Structure 1
């Protein structure tokens, strides 16, 4: 059976998104059909729209989603119809060199649904991050479904599917932040604030939020920032570094997280950390960016320079735990939801995101 539903697509590079009819097949082996309840509007969707990720148009956008499993392939045993799930883009294979070494959070062979969703004329769609959840129904690999507490609000739970997990994981999984640490986060959008929330959750003593926007710094305080640094774009880069050192006894932080992903912000993160401190890059650079830094400084300052892939998360391990913390009132996922919108409002949500007016607009279906 093929299901006709409404979905949001990017038909061509940088064109306005369209709400149109898409065709979704019933699940085959290893697949699950999910009725989407809520899906966040993420920067990654915007990157797809403007051609920043690839040119496999048309794209079916949306990936930060939660919903109910409607049907599964005959061989699927880990999820069943009726399960409330968060969708993820790390369906681990269990067989690659990372999985066989006990590191499935780095799986190098993650997979998606085999069958294709299409337009009415048969044109195959490329689902964003293998998910495509700005739609009433979507077809994914069963491993992309993580069952969690069904009483969690879908609008909040779905955000763990990408940006919020990326930020929390950058702090806890990649950065290894623990009680008593000092942390600086550069860039206080959704991912940066999630890193702040993660650092606060595990007991970091000092959490410094850094941004050019006073409104974003106010948001950061709501997620656990203990100090803020307002960046003056006209001031020397060392100004931010000196302010952070002044807040940390002159030493710098134990973990510096770059949630922007630009050469200048990465250099700030590198130099505002303490000796033997850790730098975590979680902001996504564009392919043209390059970095130049004295190699003697890399050697002399020691520590670790890391990139965080999806917060180095393992969905089956991390999503249920984080949802439990949310239900206990210890993880403020609801605060990330700036507004709830309809499926026809995605283009307007992209504009608000670009202007920095929202942490997350969430499509409710």
Structure 2
């Protein structure tokens, strides 16, 4: 169901990283997936707005089929919205993506959202028989077809990346209106413009560096939507982080596993190993939201205000092989302490600004 919102929304995001049991041993892939379901149930109970489940095809991550996990979550929850984060559309079939999310939407009574992406990780391309040389055209053609499918009427389409369609009707239909559709963008102005052209929502993947540098992308999205005559929806952000009772505890729990995952990925991309001083600098000035509830809430409020966004999703599980109990506690702290603090901080700043304006007038 297409969502209209002006108020702030807060979500959590996971790729199904492999946690540890209480003895410190990594759990199985099956246990990791069940842990995500447990975390989603808790998030639903404490009022978190969204859980997003990402698609990966690497040994560090248990979830390769987000919609299947979301379908399981749908039957165990009642209010939380269920999103992919992201669905790698380039190496998937738009018709099947639509069908799977329409099914999740049915199981959840209209709570499904899809976040489409080109794929910053490329393992899915050779796995499913796609040529990376077609990276751009795959996404361009497939997002065009997906856009047509959202009308839920017979589709005629022709391209180079899949079989043509002639008056093809696709099932199931949704019963609560068009699927809420976002596009995840990591740093390409062209991707921002494409998102606006199709009238989709913009989700900024800010995983490193100062968040403020993305302000120009928010402005570009709004200007492009105006030029295309589409709707500029409220923008969202997702970034990594972790919450514990104190700053020190959060760092001690999160850093070891985060470094392992970061260095494994970096080894395939020519990055040097992560140093602890770089990690701490990213917490202080960059896009890591790691710390106590107070620390994380202040940093989130600053980002929301600086970018003028209306949704913030915290990627909470990138600490890798930490105990499942610590991940559950992080979700609980996020929902019960961080989110209320962020709302309060932003309300206080808004009141202060209004007072200054009134005084100046």
TM-score by length of 2: 0.29
Comparing both structures, which one devotes a greater share of its residues to helix?
2
Greater length-normalized contact order (CA 8 Å, ≥ 6 residues apart): 2
Comparing both structures, which one devotes a greater share of its residues to strand?
1
